[in-house]
Structure 1
């Protein structure tokens, strides 16, 4: 029985999309027919998804995270598009392909999107893309090695850290000074200082330095 699979690929580099297309077309099963649409920015992807939702929904959607935002500023990334796709086409399979390999970003993407596939581009080979696609069609999810390593760290780590504390760690790791954290987090400076103190106690930071805190948090997979 022939299986027609409607696909949308979103990436701002046409040559990367061409590589994905060529790989899937060359490795598809004999009974699979792939119909592939492509988009290089949020506006085009938005238009294609809304049209598909009205006419024939996509079966699989591939999203890069960093792509040009929509003109109205409402869609700023592939993450936003993935969330929208789940509203428009809840039965479609969502695959994230990204260069981002920081554990904070990985954690947020899994929490916010719960994708059927999550592939880090630096892990990716043609054979893995082909394997991931076929696996996701039958038995999702499929995560590439960097994502799995992060998830394994998270499972075995006993330290529980909430989203705000995780964001504080991430911002500090990006060079944001403590005095500027209130611009990024909706808390008072005293609340942020209290959380930083708790984090240093959790990670057993004896010297009190932010640099040591960040180093320990990174070792344990929280950044």
Structure 2
């Protein structure tokens, strides 16, 4: 019996999409027939998703790149926003996230907000991994690439619990944002940030007060 699969691939690099398409067509099972739509930005992706809901021929799988040009109306600024939108209007569609980002904060955020059935870091990706991910997500999700799995293992085996604001502080510091500028990114006062940084130094047992030492310890535990 033929299994007809409808797929939407969202990436702003045509060559990358061509590679994904070729891999899937070449490695699909004999009884699988793939119907692939391609979107190069947020606007095209939303139009395809809305149309699939109207036609009631829903997508089986979405491949979503995180770095995308924002939508013209400004409501969507990345693939994360698109994936959240897909979760609302296409609740049964499986989502595979593809991204160049491999920072712990971004990985944590994507798992928490989207909980994708597939999560692939582009620098880990080979055509055989893409083919494996595709079949695994169809039949037995989730499928996470090596970098994502190692992050999950590190944070599960760590007995440290850090809330989202503190994770964001670590992330912003790792991106080179100065302490005095953190307040504008986090919508809390500078004194609240200083308190949180003290908490983080206590958690990671940093006695020299240096941000670099704090980041180094947080990295080793998989939080940055």
**TM superposition score normalised by structure 1:** 0.99
Task: Report how many residues are paired.
Answer: 223
Matched with 2:219 is: 218
Residue 210 (structure 1) shift: 1.0
Q: In structure 1, how many angstroms separate the alpha carbons of the residues matched to 2:199 and 2:138?
A: 44
Q: In structure 2, how many angstroms separate the alpha carbons of the residues matched to 1:205 and 1:163?
A: 20
Q: In structure 2, how many angstroms separate the alpha carbons of the residues matched to 1:21 and 1:219?
A: 37
- 1:82-112 CA distances to partner (integer Å, 9 max, x unpaired)? 0111111100000001111111100000000
Matched with 1:123 is: 124
Matched with 1:134 is: 135
- 1:153-193 CA distances to partner (integer Å, 9 max, x unpaired)? 01000111000100011111111111111101121111110
Map residues 190-201 of structure 1 onto 2, 5 A cutoff.
190-201=191-202
Residue 139 (structure 1) shift: 0.6
**TM superposition score normalised by structure 2:** 0.98
**Gaps spanning 5+ residues in structure 1: where?**
none
Matched with 1:208 is: 209
Matched, 1:162 2:175: no
Secondary structure of 1:119's aligned partner: strand
**Gaps spanning 5+ residues in structure 2: where?**
none
Compute the RMSD of aligned alpha carbons.
0.6
Q: In structure 2, how many angstroms separate the alpha carbons of the residues matched to 1:187 and 1:205?
A: 23
Q: In structure 2, how many angstroms separate the alpha carbons of the residues matched to 1:36 and 1:69?
A: 22
Q: In structure 2, how many angstroms separate the alpha carbons of the residues matched to 1:204 and 1:86?
A: 40
Residue 6 (structure 1) shift: 0.2
Matched with 1:65 is: 66
Q: In structure 2, how many angstroms separate the alpha carbons of the residues matched to 1:129 and 1:152?
A: 22
Residue 211 (structure 1) shift: 1.2
**Runs of 4+ in structure 1 over 6 Å off:** none
Matched with 1:32 is: 32
Q: In structure 1, how many angstroms separate the alpha carbons of the residues matched to 2:19 and 2:175?
A: 32
